[in-house]
Chains A and B, each alone.
Chain A
């Protein structure tokens, strides 16, 4: 398995532009998580899905942020419009279903480094 795959690895965009981050979880994993990491706040959970359904989006900072999971193998995190304070590394992680989750941890993608200028 190739692991959790995120794209792009780096994104530089101008303030006000729309940004879309992509994630492909490990096949068979029922949970998908989006995290944001900054120097000031560390790792923050933004939203997570179970079987493609958003379960908890309380970490999404503002309405400018939205996430979708149209199928089990793909998720997007969209920021529209982007602002300089959105600059961070965004991680996607996946994990197996609840019943077998005890035997597995979480697998993280390599992250997308977003810079909004």
Chain B
């Protein structure tokens, strides 16, 4: 069974700190990996998409990396802000279906 695990399940850090969210998947045969954020009661917002041929993607304060050989992806958030508080989901795409990670609930403390 394809699984995507995110560690930690919850994280609280003071504002301004850099942080890393981790995602691991059991099946390295992926097409791409996508990071989403979900705010309470809201839908999913796409943050970054990494193709299987890529190693990383950057958008503003966010940087996502992909290591297929080890089955891992990380999302790096620089200079965290209270507005970054949300649940972050990594989503692995193999063939047509998506496999969702378990999510990390991030709280940035002002």
Chain A contacts of B43 at CB under 8 A?
91, 108-111
A106 B34 Cβ-Cβ under 8 A: yes
Chain B interface bracket (under 10, 10 to 19, 20 to 34, 35 or more):
20 to 34
Which listed segment binds B: A12-20, A40-48, A67-75, A79-87? A40-48
Interface contacts (Cβ under 8 Å), in number, total 47
Chain B interface (Cβ < 8 Å from any Cβ of A):
31-32, 34, 36, 41-46, 49, 51-52, 89, 91, 93, 96-98, 100, 102-103
Q: How far is the CB of B51 from chain A (nearest CB, A)?
A: 6
Chain A interface (Cβ < 8 Å from any Cβ of B):
31, 33, 42-43, 45, 48, 50, 55-56, 91, 98, 101-111, 113
Specify the main secondary structure of chain A where it touches its partner: strand
B31 A101 Cβ-Cβ under 8 A: yes
**Smallest Cβ-Cβ distance to B43: which chain A residue:** A110
Question: Contact check: which of A50, A107, A108, A113 meets B96 at CB < 8 Å?
Answer: A50
A42 B103 Cβ-Cβ under 8 A: yes
